[in-house]
Amino acid sequence: MAFTNTVIDNINIGKLSIQDLKASELFDQLPVAVYTCDSLGRITSFNSAAAKLWGREPEIGKDLWCGSWKIFNPDGTPLPLDTCPMARTLKEGVAVEGEEIIIQRPDGSYRNILPYPVPKFDAGGTLIGAIITLIDFTGIARDIAFQKKADENQALLAAIVDTSDDTIISKTLQGMITSWNKAAERMFGYTKEEVLGKHISLLIPPARLREEEVIIGNISKGNKVDHFETIRIAKNGREIPISLSVSPVKDSTGKIIGASKVARDITLQKQTENRLHRDVKNLEILNALGKKITATMDARVILQKITDATMQLTGAGFGIFFYNKIDEKGVVNTLYASSGNPEAIELFKTHGNTGIFHSPFNGEKIIKIDQVTSEPGYSKDKPLYGMPLHFAIESYLALPVLSTSGVVIGGLFFGHPEPGKFTEEHELLASAIAVQAMVALENAKLYEEIRALNLMKDEFIGMASHELKTPVTSIKGYLQIVERNMPEGKSKAFVSKASLQVSKLTSLISDLLDVSKIEAGKLPFSYTVFNLRVLLNDIKDIMQYTNSSHTMKLLCPDKLLMIEADKQRFEQLIINLVSNAVKYSPDGQKVIIRAKASGDRIIISIQDFGIGIAADQLKRIFSRFHRVENLAGHMSGLGIGLYISQEIVNGHQGKLWVKSIPGKGSTFFIEMPVRRPLNGVHL
């Protein structure tokens, strides 16, 4: 029931005074809720908007003005009923204008309200009630709250952008700068006032302007550009490596109107990457150098490799490595290698122990000069003063190369026409190479000494073997004459044994002479075509005659087994292996020789049933002067028979190997081509 039995003479929204209240369609249709209540807060009248706000029609004289609402402050905190605007009007008799509250209705919904309670007095001035106008601005409040939130978010975003460590710039699709944060000022050196409205090309190197076209082209299509690495220019002209991410900026209709750039200075990252790349490259150079200088014992080659590598590592304009080589007579021969400017050699040869070059040559210290022409003694330093411009030295690095005993054996010298080119890192790298140089040169020197001694040893063995063969041959001839002319008896048996020992001595001298020839690379081969089966059968008969303790057996399926090889060396090879088979199988009783053709190769094996060879000995038995361990004392020998056999097989481009079981015997295998190898002339 709206406004029953009451009269409204005057209503002033915002500050209401009522003389009389009566039913009126006009007020019943007001869009704002209007209540009246007595001094105790009981509802005395209401309009339709009030009933709608209430959620039902209030009961006159019973329902209170608060309508069973819960009341809250605008921030959502509870507001006690006795302190709300309506209660204060009934309590204090004053009007309260527009204090925002939030009500929670009985159905649980919330409304944003602006109450305007106005006190009502009787003629005597006694408070008899109040007229309460409630403006529901819930929808408006939401819009205001949204706008307020949007403003807060915008302010927060602006604060984040302005305090970000990353450079954030906005621009139009035409490239005009529209925003510029503090990080952009720090990175590029321009203030906001200097760049707003300017074209973004202000920051782009001329050679990279095409990049901006590509970026804008992608943004115009709605594509984001992520982590694009490029170079931009600061106000002071410094080039800055940056990582760039660019996103399209859209208006409320979704139309792309510009771009937002986030740029990060990656100078440190690039420096780290370059350092890692440089370190990897340096390690590769050092590793390659180590392999190269250990693969040779030639001092000149070592000098050149080290000079070239150090030039790469230091970026020098020229480099020189001097090495003092002392021969066996104590004479110093200076070797050198250079890279870069060839005129540097003459300069150092002439003035190598004077001026700034003096210290490294005397092993005093490492010298690193950033600008030679600024040195106090430059004008008096003859090696440098007055040099032609095309051989100017500004940066200079020099260090001694010391032997393990601390003696100066050389020096590394590097120069560059620009100042400040050599760093402490270059000094460390050059020092590391100097150590490698010292080791390599000392190894080369040691190798030369060993080679000279080995050559002397080979010459001695060859000469001794040759000189011994003449008297031994004479002794053997005399013994044979004596043996033929002596009657049977004990003395003849002694002569026969003496002749046998002389034969062994002759064989030993021949082996030593062969070893000498092998080491000199002069073991000769004389190729002929012969029937291998016939040769093997002859060897079997000879060995059977001289070794009656064993049965010699030949298994050769082909009667005609032709081969092109050195027949004498081949016979020496088979006899060596059969003799070993007999020697190392004292209780074996038999030796089996097998031979067969397999395509264009032949395979021969000599099998014994003797003591065998331990697995850990198999790889060493073909080494010079190696003998199998734990042999009986009567099994004599120098350990050169298998070494010579191996070299004979290698000279024929064949293979020699062994299979053995300790206690059961050994089998030696030979595989060789049937035809003469094209390069099989000498070992």
CATH number of the structural domain spanning residue 228 = 3.30.450.20
> pLDDT band at residue 588, thresholds of 50, 70 and 90?
confident
Q: For 109-162, what is each residue's pLDDT tens digit?
A: 888 889 999 999 998 889 999 999 988 877 665 555 555 665 565 666 666 666
Final residue of a domain: which of 265, 294, 309? 265
CATH of the domain at 400: 3.30.450.40
The type of residue at 293 is I
Q: For 520-547, what is each residue's pLDDT tens digit?
A: 566 678 889 999 999 999 989 888 887 8
> pLDDT band at residue 357, thresholds of 50, 70 and 90?
low
Final residue of a domain: which of 144, 179, 206? 144
Q: For 470-502, what is each residue's pLDDT tens digit?
A: 676 677 677 777 777 777 777 777 777 777 677
CB atoms within 10 A of CB 177: 23
Residues 511 and 640 in one domain: no
This prediction has a pTM of 0.44
Give residue 229's pLDDT.
Answer: 92
Q: Which range among 88-102, 160-174, 475-489 has the greatest average pLDDT?
A: 88-102
Domain that holds residue 253: 164-265
How many CA atoms lie less than 13 Å away from 395 in the CB half-sphere? Answer: 19
498-503 long-range contacts, Cβ below 8 Å, gap at least 24?
502/472, 502/475, 502/476, 503/476
Residues 553 and 508 in one domain: no
Nearest one of 97, 100, 130 to 116, comparing CA atoms: 97
Residues 651 and 538 in one domain: yes
Q: For 211-257, what is each residue's pLDDT tens digit?
A: 988 999 999 998 998 889 999 999 999 999 999 999 998 877 788 98
Residues 81 and 192 in one domain: no
Structure tokens belonging to residue 269: 């990252």
Question: H/E element holding 467?
Answer: helix 424-485
Higher pLDDT: 478 or 188? It is 188
Residue at 680 is within a domain = no
Residues 516 and 534 in one domain: no
Residues 21 and 36: beta-carbon distance below 8 Å? yes
Higher pLDDT: 235 or 354? It is 235
Nearest one of 351, 368, 363 to 316, comparing CA atoms: 368
Residue at 154 is within a domain = no
C-alpha to C-alpha distance for 504 and 207, rounded to whole angstroms: 88
Q: For 652-672, what is each residue's pLDDT tens digit?
A: 889 999 999 998 999 999 999
Residues 360 and 367: beta-carbon distance below 8 Å? yes
Buried b (16+ CB within 10 A) or exposed e, 2-11: bbeebebeeb
**β-pair partners for 230:** 242
Give residue 236's pLDDT.
Answer: 93
For residues 592-613, give the mean pLDDT. Answer: 92
How far from 592 is each of 550, 609, 669, CA to CA, in Å? Answer: 10, 9, 12
Give residue 117's pLDDT.
Answer: 93
Beta strands 665-673 and 127-136: pairing type? unpaired
Structure tokens belonging to residue 32: 């704002």
Residue at 493 is within a domain = yes
Burial zone of 299 (CB within 10 Å; 0-12 exposed, 13-18 middle, 19+ buried):
buried
Residues 236 and 371 in one domain: no
Give residue 358's pLDDT.
Answer: 56
Higher pLDDT: 255 or 458? It is 255
Q: Which residues contact 54 (CB under 8 A, 6 or more apart)?
A: 33, 46, 67, 105
Residues 122 and 173 in one domain: no
Higher pLDDT: 27 or 267? It is 267
Higher pLDDT: 377 or 281? It is 281
Q: For 291-306, what is each residue's pLDDT tens digit?
A: 888 778 888 888 888 8
Split into its structural domains, the chain has a count of: 4
Residues 601 and 661 in one domain: yes
Higher pLDDT: 288 or 657? It is 657
C-alpha to C-alpha distance for 131 and 118, rounded to whole angstroms: 5
Residue at 463 is within a domain = yes
For residues 299-316, give the mean pLDDT. Answer: 86
Residue at 354 is within a domain = yes
> pLDDT band at residue 17, thresholds of 50, 70 and 90?
very low
Give residue 18's pLDDT.
Answer: 42
Residues 308 and 435 in one domain: yes
pLDDT at residue 385 tops 70: no
Q: Which range among 7-11, 126-130, 362-366, 370-374 has the greatest average pLDDT?
A: 126-130
pLDDT at residue 381 tops 90: no
Nearest one of 640, 294, 594, 550 to 437, comparing CA atoms: 294
C-alpha to C-alpha distance for 108 and 474, rounded to whole angstroms: 136
For residues 626-633, give the mean pLDDT. Answer: 55
Residue at 311 is within a domain = yes
Residues 378 and 502 in one domain: yes
pLDDT at residue 272 tops 90: no
Lowest mean pLDDT among 199-213, 307-321, 647-661: 307-321
Give residue 533's pLDDT.
Answer: 92
Residue at 518 is within a domain = yes
CATH of the domain at 606: 3.30.565.10
Average pLDDT of the residues of the chain: 79
Q: Express as a percent the part of the chain with pLDDT over 90.
A: 20
pLDDT at residue 558 tops 70: yes
Lowest mean pLDDT among 4-18, 100-114, 192-206, 583-597: 4-18
Residues 334 and 465 in one domain: yes
Backbone angles phi, psi at 186, to 5 degrees: -65, -40
Q: Which residues contact 667 (CB under 8 A, 6 or more apart)?
A: 605, 606, 607, 608, 658, 659, 660
Residues 67 and 54: beta-carbon distance below 8 Å? yes
For residues 295-319, give the mean pLDDT. Answer: 85
202-211 long-range contacts, Cβ below 8 Å, gap at least 24?
202/177, 203/232, 203/233, 204/232, 204/233, 205/231, 205/232, 205/233, 205/239
Residues 312 and 183 in one domain: no
Q: Express as a percent the part of the chain with pLDDT over 70.
A: 76
Residues 634 and 621: beta-carbon distance below 8 Å? no
Residue at 168 is within a domain = yes
